[in-house]
A and B are shown apart, each in its own frame.
Chain A
């Protein structure tokens, strides 16, 4: 036993509790004396009483929680705890050595003067046995929590024998201390100060600064609503934090992308406030999951580019379908189509009908009529992008100067718009479409008029489904193939457009008996187009030769075909056999990416037991061209893998993708549904760990507050030549105290058991209960 070793009692309970315990002990002893009063033999009674007293005293001793403190005197003087910040921000350094290297150099100088207990820190305190072990560590911690590290040190077992603490850091905290401390705070908040008080040590801080300010632009947040409506502009706010560019000339480029497609770019001057909130607008075009990316182009002298972009996911729904309906003349086809569209309360219909012929303008007085000028410019320059669907119904666009706006229309379609051409004598080749830019993004090929061909053929036309049409969601008028063929066989058209043929990447879904295209569809860039080469679809809604029951069926076919055509043109996800639900926000790096896939048949029933194939692709915009980007039937995905788990009874399966690298991705899934290879894709993002990169400029503000609160000092880049100032030494400063809890040791339990067992045995032997 050394000098100074001693016993400490816990005695944590309040005195009334102890009073109660004492009374209880006396009661137990009194009852014991009463119990043994009739026992013959003084010695026996004295022995039993002694055992009971010993037991009670032992229990009382345990309740007092005795701790043995042994003091070991350590030669060499006072130790200093040195904590070196190894968070990722310490790996930076604009010129020369990194902050980490400079911190190690300064820490090494401390050890030359004083004995050191070594630690590093990032999210928590990390003990080290030696400086060599500290040196071997990497500055790659993904967080800096100064308070947590000091709190860990505050454990009584670690501070014993320490004289001071030295915290070596760039001061960039991203834990609670940073959150709780205002930029102009003069003192620490009470909670943080209490953590330091528990140390009962001075915490000196060594601020590692850069010789030259670190330059960095960080996209710290992309704020947008989690839901949007198609073709409705929504505000997006991008938060930027600029370091080291306060007085710099030049500008940076902020880019906003939607599913990989650039939607807006903004130039911003570098000179200005370090924190900025940039307002942008974004117009989602399609229903379904969208991934927004805000990024700034890397600047030549930026410290890091890992924080130059961020993502936000949102779900886009359609509130109303806005339809622009342009008709070359009023007809029964326009009448029934109008009634169909107006019958849908979710449709906003904007119509323009050409109501007088070219020859009539001279003698129909505009004053007496309700005619208005055809607002070509307003429609095609200002409002086109606001429409979900544009319909040209027997519309000869040539006389109305629409041709000059074809580039806008092309941009609209390839950018995600929907374009439907309904035929007639004034449409397609007969309407002068051949040779125009518009003809290039139709799903059929137009031919020049020759001889007596006016682009139109009279007569009854019997439609026939093509193999593609038999499976296409647009032309499915019944749930099964036989029913579908029967449905098409009960209809006919009056007249069709001529001088057109199947061609390109479009899908011809129905032809006449001679194979002339009647109904065709195509993907055009991000958008879609369709052609129905007749003006008599209305006869399905008003059949002339049919029984009453058949009329109802026929009318249903009319509405179903138009609904499906519209839905397909609008990329309605309900038409997709496979539907994906990607994560609703960017996934943290290292976490699995979970995507729910639902499979439905053409009749809407869940498809169970389906094996999916999947692959990841870069999230890139489709090529900006008029040729279809997604020819049908879909080609199999390259390098796809089978998912081990099939769809369940609800047609669902969750793909949990591990080890997906940081960045934006496109998940592509395919499966054979209804005998056809179906594909679907959805965007998602895996966010890189950028917590440490959100701010890069060293700051000694928190370090000064820590030192001030604990009675320490703050130095910059190096420690004083005289070493770390220490308080005046006492005996306890030079010794390590080792605490041993006696009351928790197993010997105590054994001792109590022995006493109680012996007393029980004697009592049985001497005839007591």
Chain B
């Protein structure tokens, strides 16, 4: 796999962020990463900031650069449809108010990304406590996210989820309706994204080094894309079929010999 020149990429990202369109954090429809302020939770500000930067750099998503922390029982969580919860410690018992608010949030279109940030391995204390708290939210248990799920194709093609670690080979999630409203990874995703104040990455990525870190960033991009696009990429498995279905089309699209060329600087959908 070709290595991406990260320094120029990051430099370009900073340049783009300095442009007028992204000079300020955008409220309203723009995406802002929000993390749950739960006792014992890791403060992921550095990681989420880098996450947002990469989203801006690589995609067309209009995302605020600064994340925000919010308590689960705070009605303000409804200003942030995408929530992050990372920790390596046993979670506290959530209040009934927090459980109700989170259930409402996730049932009506919100999404929660849970990250087990255990240092050397996934924290068992967090894992067990999380499952207990999630059981209070939804009756359905966490289930394995199949490698063929659209999440692994929502932007990048990914074979498996990785983070700072790569020992858990799959994500888990809770389905609400036709999509996963809760996604749980045990590879310390935020650890792979976090930066030091001076500019370097905060933690080493094992065992895959920088290549694995890039895969972690790609997973982070895919998670946000999935939150915003749901099963959009599943459309593309049958979109050509839909277009070829000759319902009013003057000529079947299948007659097109090849996809139209991408013009210089023309973005792709």
- Name B138-157 residues within 8 Å CB distance of A: 153-157
- In Å, the complex CA distance between A632 and B259 comes to 44
Q: Is the interface of A mostly helix, strand, loop or mixed?
A: mixed
- Name B240-269 residues within 8 Å CB distance of A: 242-243, 246-253, 256, 259-263, 265-269
The answer, yes or no, to whether B110 is at the interface (CB within 8 Å) is yes
B157 near A386 with CB under 8 A, answer: no
B109 near A339 with CB under 8 A, answer: yes
The answer, yes or no, to whether B203 is at the interface (CB within 8 Å) is no
A386 near B248 with CB under 8 A, answer: yes
A330 near B247 with CB under 8 A, answer: no
A385 near B229 with CB under 8 A, answer: no
The answer, yes or no, to whether B209 is at the interface (CB within 8 Å) is no
Which residue of B is nearest A363, CB measured? B9
Contact partners of B75 in chain A: CB under 8 A: 544-545
- In Å, the complex CA distance between A538 and B269 comes to 22
Of residues A383, A400, A548, which shows the largest number of chain B Cβ atoms within 10 Å of its Cβ?
Answer: A383
A541 near B108 with CB under 8 A, answer: yes
Q: Which one of B58, B108, B227 contacts A360 once the chains associate, using CB atoms below 8 Å?
A: B58
Which residue of A is nearest B225, CB measured? A330
**Known pairs A353-B269, A544-B76; A373 contacts B236 (CB<8 A):** no
The answer, yes or no, to whether B31 is at the interface (CB within 8 Å) is yes
- In Å, the complex CA distance between A461 and B162 comes to 42
The answer, yes or no, to whether B125 is at the interface (CB within 8 Å) is no
Of residues B2, B5, B27, which shows the largest number of chain A Cβ atoms within 10 Å of its Cβ?
Answer: B27
- Name B115-170 residues within 8 Å CB distance of A: 153-157
B78 near A335 with CB under 8 A, answer: no
Q: Which one of B58, B246, B249, B260 contacts A375 once the chains associate, using CB atoms below 8 Å?
A: B260
Contact partners of B268 in chain A: CB under 8 A: 354-356, 361, 366, 371-374
Contact partners of B267 in chain A: CB under 8 A: 354-358, 360-361, 374, 399-400
Segment of A177-185, A343-351, A510-518, A521-529 engaged in the interface with chain B: A343-351
The answer, yes or no, to whether B233 is at the interface (CB within 8 Å) is yes
Chain A: minimal CB distance from B242 (Å): 5
The answer, yes or no, to whether B204 is at the interface (CB within 8 Å) is no
The answer, yes or no, to whether A20 is at the interface (CB within 8 Å) is no
A545 near B78 with CB under 8 A, answer: yes
Chain B: minimal CB distance from A174 (Å): 40
- In Å, the complex CA distance between A348 and B110 comes to 24
- In Å, the complex CA distance between A358 and B251 comes to 32
B248 near A233 with CB under 8 A, answer: yes
- Name A326-353 residues within 8 Å CB distance of B: 328-336, 338-339, 342, 348-353
B28 near A338 with CB under 8 A, answer: no
Would you list the 5 A-B pairs with minimal beta carbon distance, nearest first? A494-B28, A386-B248, A329-B60, A330-B228, A544-B78
- Name B14-56 residues within 8 Å CB distance of A: 16, 21, 26-31, 56
Of residues A342, A369, A385, A536, which shows the largest number of chain B Cβ atoms within 10 Å of its Cβ?
Answer: A369
**Known pairs A357-B267, A495-B29, A544-B78; A232 contacts B235 (CB<8 A):** no
The answer, yes or no, to whether A601 is at the interface (CB within 8 Å) is no
**Known pairs A333-B29, A538-B29; A342 contacts B230 (CB<8 A):** yes
The answer, yes or no, to whether A482 is at the interface (CB within 8 Å) is no
Give the interface residue-count category, chain A. Answer: 35 or more
The answer, yes or no, to whether A401 is at the interface (CB within 8 Å) is yes
B266 near A400 with CB under 8 A, answer: yes
9 A-B interface contacts by CB (under 8 A):
A356-B267, A361-B267, A365-B2, A372-B259, A372-B269, A375-B253, A385-B250, A536-B28, A551-B104
- In Å, the complex CA distance between A338 and B259 comes to 25
**Known pairs A359-B12, A535-B29; A378 contacts B269 (CB<8 A):** no
The answer, yes or no, to whether A738 is at the interface (CB within 8 Å) is no
Contact partners of A352 in chain B: CB under 8 A: 269
**Known pairs A329-B60, A372-B236; A494 contacts B260 (CB<8 A):** no
Contact partners of B227 in chain A: CB under 8 A: 335
Known contacts A363-B9, A495-B27; 19 further A-B pairs (Cβ under 8 A): A331-B31, A331-B228, A333-B29, A335-B81, A335-B228, A336-B109, A342-B231, A354-B267, A356-B58, A360-B60, A368-B218, A369-B156, A372-B268, A372-B269, A377-B260, A381-B250, A400-B267, A425-B62, A493-B28
Where the two chains meet, the residues of B that have a C-beta atom closer than 8 Å to any C-beta of A are 1-2, 4-5, 8-9, 12, 16, 21, 26-31, 56-62, 75-76, 78-79, 81, 104, 108-110, 153-157, 178, 218, 225, 227-233, 235-236, 239, 242-243, 246-253, 256, 259-263, 265-269
The answer, yes or no, to whether A2 is at the interface (CB within 8 Å) is no
- In Å, the complex CA distance between A354 and B263 comes to 14
B265 near A495 with CB under 8 A, answer: no
B235 near A329 with CB under 8 A, answer: no
Chain B: minimal CB distance from A351 (Å): 6
The answer, yes or no, to whether A376 is at the interface (CB within 8 Å) is yes
A283 near B248 with CB under 8 A, answer: yes
How many pairs of residues, A versus B, come closer than 8 Å at their CB atoms?
212
The answer, yes or no, to whether A247 is at the interface (CB within 8 Å) is no
B60 near A370 with CB under 8 A, answer: no
Chain B: minimal CB distance from A79 (Å): 69
B109 near A541 with CB under 8 A, answer: yes
The answer, yes or no, to whether A364 is at the interface (CB within 8 Å) is yes
- In Å, the complex CA distance between A544 and B8 comes to 39
Chain A: minimal CB distance from B239 (Å): 6
The answer, yes or no, to whether A86 is at the interface (CB within 8 Å) is no
A349 near B235 with CB under 8 A, answer: yes
B29 near A368 with CB under 8 A, answer: no
The answer, yes or no, to whether A741 is at the interface (CB within 8 Å) is no
- In Å, the complex CA distance between A189 and B249 comes to 51
B236 near A328 with CB under 8 A, answer: no
- In Å, the complex CA distance between A136 and B258 comes to 76
The answer, yes or no, to whether A382 is at the interface (CB within 8 Å) is yes
Contact partners of A348 in chain B: CB under 8 A: 242
Chain B: minimal CB distance from A584 (Å): 25
Contact partners of A336 in chain B: CB under 8 A: 109
The answer, yes or no, to whether A542 is at the interface (CB within 8 Å) is yes
Contact partners of B249 in chain A: CB under 8 A: 382-383, 385-386
A330 near B259 with CB under 8 A, answer: no
The answer, yes or no, to whether A231 is at the interface (CB within 8 Å) is yes
- Name A310-332 residues within 8 Å CB distance of B: 322, 328-332
Contact partners of A333 in chain B: CB under 8 A: 29
- In Å, the complex CA distance between A361 and B266 comes to 8
A542 near B59 with CB under 8 A, answer: no
Contact partners of B21 in chain A: CB under 8 A: 425
The answer, yes or no, to whether A424 is at the interface (CB within 8 Å) is yes
Contact partners of B27 in chain A: CB under 8 A: 458, 494-495
Which residue of B is nearest A283, CB measured? B248
- In Å, the complex CA distance between A535 and B231 comes to 21
B79 near A544 with CB under 8 A, answer: yes
Of residues B218, B228, B243, B250, which shows the largest number of chain A Cβ atoms within 10 Å of its Cβ?
Answer: B228
B59 near A357 with CB under 8 A, answer: yes
B263 near A360 with CB under 8 A, answer: no
The answer, yes or no, to whether A543 is at the interface (CB within 8 Å) is yes
- In Å, the complex CA distance between A334 and B249 comes to 26
- In Å, the complex CA distance between A372 and B243 comes to 15
Contact partners of B109 in chain A: CB under 8 A: 335-336, 339, 541-542
The answer, yes or no, to whether A763 is at the interface (CB within 8 Å) is no
Contact partners of B30 in chain A: CB under 8 A: 331
- In Å, the complex CA distance between A740 and B88 comes to 122
B266 near A353 with CB under 8 A, answer: no
Q: Which one of A334, A365, A386, A401 contacts B247 once the chains associate, using CB atoms below 8 Å?
A: A386
Contact partners of A330 in chain B: CB under 8 A: 59-61, 225, 228-229, 232
The answer, yes or no, to whether A45 is at the interface (CB within 8 Å) is no
- In Å, the complex CA distance between A538 and B31 comes to 12
Which residue of A is nearest B30, CB measured? A331
Of residues B31, B157, B267, which shows the largest number of chain A Cβ atoms within 10 Å of its Cβ?
Answer: B267
Contact partners of A334 in chain B: CB under 8 A: 228-229
B60 near A328 with CB under 8 A, answer: yes
B29 near A424 with CB under 8 A, answer: yes
Chain A: minimal CB distance from B223 (Å): 12
A332 near B228 with CB under 8 A, answer: yes
Chain A: minimal CB distance from B184 (Å): 21
Contact partners of A331 in chain B: CB under 8 A: 29-31, 61-62, 228
